[in-house]
Amino acid sequence: MRTSGTSISVELEDRSYRVHVQPQGLAEVGRAVASVCRGRRCLLVSCRRVVRLWGEPVVRSLESAGVAVTTALVPDGEQAKSLQQAEKLYEALLRARFDRQAVVVSLGGGVVGDLAGFVAATYQRGVDFVQVPTTLLAQVDASVGGKTAVNHPRAKNMIGAFHQPRLVMIDPVTLSSLPKRQLRGGLAEVIKHGVILDARLFRYVEQHADALLAAEPEALKHVIRRSCQLKAEVVTADERESGLRAILNYGHTLGHAVESASAGRWLHGECVSLGMMGAAYLAEDLGMVTAAFAGRQRDVLRAAGLPVRLPGLAPEQLWERMSHDKKAAAGSLRWVLPTRIGEVRIVSDVSKETVLRALERIGE
Ligand code: GLY
């Protein structure tokens, strides 16, 4: 991983790419695409709301760099991550006679990025892909690292591929239109990066929570850049999640279960926040951290406006859901648990009773 000026480089041999974190970066998308992609035609995948807000500067920049644009819109929300929507995008590519030099550009949040990335990974066995994420969640997590997927009705993200983008262009200005609840959701992943890898980033959020919630550009730029650097380091070391990369799933084992139980009521980041609290209580119960750890994490999550308790939560049901998700994916329950702020370990074989005790503490 190398960082220079406003960009971070993800070093993966012939799949290396740069992540640009640049205010007004939307106007630079065209030049950046033209410099790293051979193709001069792109399919811009977005959704109605985002294209209305940010489509124009992106299209203008692509066209003035000599890249012709065909636009395809997908519905908002998680249900767009389906094989049916992927099929519609293949259809759009075929109808417009895109060949192997096609460039797929995703403009939007994690759903659009995951779906467009999956289509880029599979159309004609893989074409160039460019990420232009417009939510904090996608900017600090999903747009970097090459995980692409659609959901299967039985389990999330079950059909997918690793397909690294050719470039990621993050323009923090796009966050000015992001609903506050989604901004808070994105902060959950920033705090996650602090807990797993970087005590300084964690402290930064503790000290600048108000500025972050007020979407102050300098504060946002700082946490986006640091999160992308950390993620780039992890992905460079373990692109395909055969080891280290699993630490990025801190808070996600329980978080995914809460997310699917909530049937869309809770945002991903809110579920990760609850999941991180569950993991902290588990670690405390297992003697890996003192009670002060959970207290400090709880305070920073609260300061970021994230939920740390879920009254009425049904521990048994969540346990069933976690076990079911893992069985569906033929895996076993593995927990990413903290040992201190900035360091985690992966632990398997945590007993059901221990997990239920941690869940009860979130439900209290
Ligand atoms: N969001 C977890 C990962 O990219 O591995």
Residues with a CB atom less than 6 Å from ligand 1? 141, 145, 147, 245, 248
Q: In angstroms, what CA-CA distances link 179 with 182, 243, 244?
A: 5, 35, 33
Atom of ligand 1 nearest to the CA of 145: 4
Give me the tens of pLDDT residue by residue for the chain, a chain 364 residues long.
555 567 999 999 999 999 999 999 999 999 999 999 999 999 999 999 999 999 999 999 999 999 999 999 999 888 999 999 999 999 999 999 999 999 999 999 999 999 999 999 999 999 999 999 999 999 999 999 999 999 998 888 999 999 999 999 999 999 999 999 999 999 999 999 999 999 999 999 999 999 999 999 999 999 999 999 999 999 999 999 999 999 999 999 999 999 988 888 999 999 999 999 999 999 999 999 999 999 999 999 999 999 999 988 889 999 998 887 776 666 778 999 999 999 999 999 899 999 999 999 998 7
What atom in ligand 1 is closest to the CA of residue 248? 2
Using alpha carbons, select from 256, 297, 274 the residue that is nearest to residue 361. 274
| Ramachandran region, residue 215 (left: φ > 0; alpha: ψ -120 to 50; beta: rest) | left
Strand partners, 131: 106, 168
The Cα 315–Cα 332 span in angstroms is 19
* DSSP string for 225-294: HHHHHHHHHHHHH-TT-SSGGGGGGTTHHHHHHHHHHHTTSS-HHHHHHHHHHHHHHHHHHTTSS-HHHH
Active site residue 241: yes
Is 296 catalytic? The answer is: no
Residue 125 catalytic? yes
Q: List C-alpha distances in Å: 313 to 65, 83, 319, 352, 357.
A: 52, 32, 11, 16, 12
Catalytic, 147? Answer yes
Q: How far is the CA of 142 from the centre of ligand 1 (A)?
A: 6
Report the distance separating Cα 82 and Cα 143, nearest Å: 18
Strands 128-133 and 2-4: unpaired
Axis-axis angle for helices 252-262, 268-285 (nearest 10): 130
Atom of ligand 1 nearest to the CA of 249: 2
Q: How deeply is 124 buried, as exposed, middle or buried, from its count of CB atoms within 10 A (0-12, 13-18, 19+)?
A: middle
Is 208 considered catalytic here? no
Distance of CA 221 to the CA centre of its chain: 16
Q: Are 61 and 26 in contact (CB under 8 A)?
A: yes
Token pair listed for 140? 């600090």
Q: Give CA 15 to chain center in angstroms.
A: 20
Domains of the chain: 2-176 (3.40.50.1970), 180-363 (1.20.1090.10)
DSSP state of 164: -
User: How far away, in angstroms, is 146 Cα from ligand 1 center?
Assistant: 9
Active-site residue (options: 88, 203, 221, 245): 245
118: phi then psi, degrees, rounded to nearest 5? -65, -40
Output phi, psi for 9, to 5 deg: -110, 130
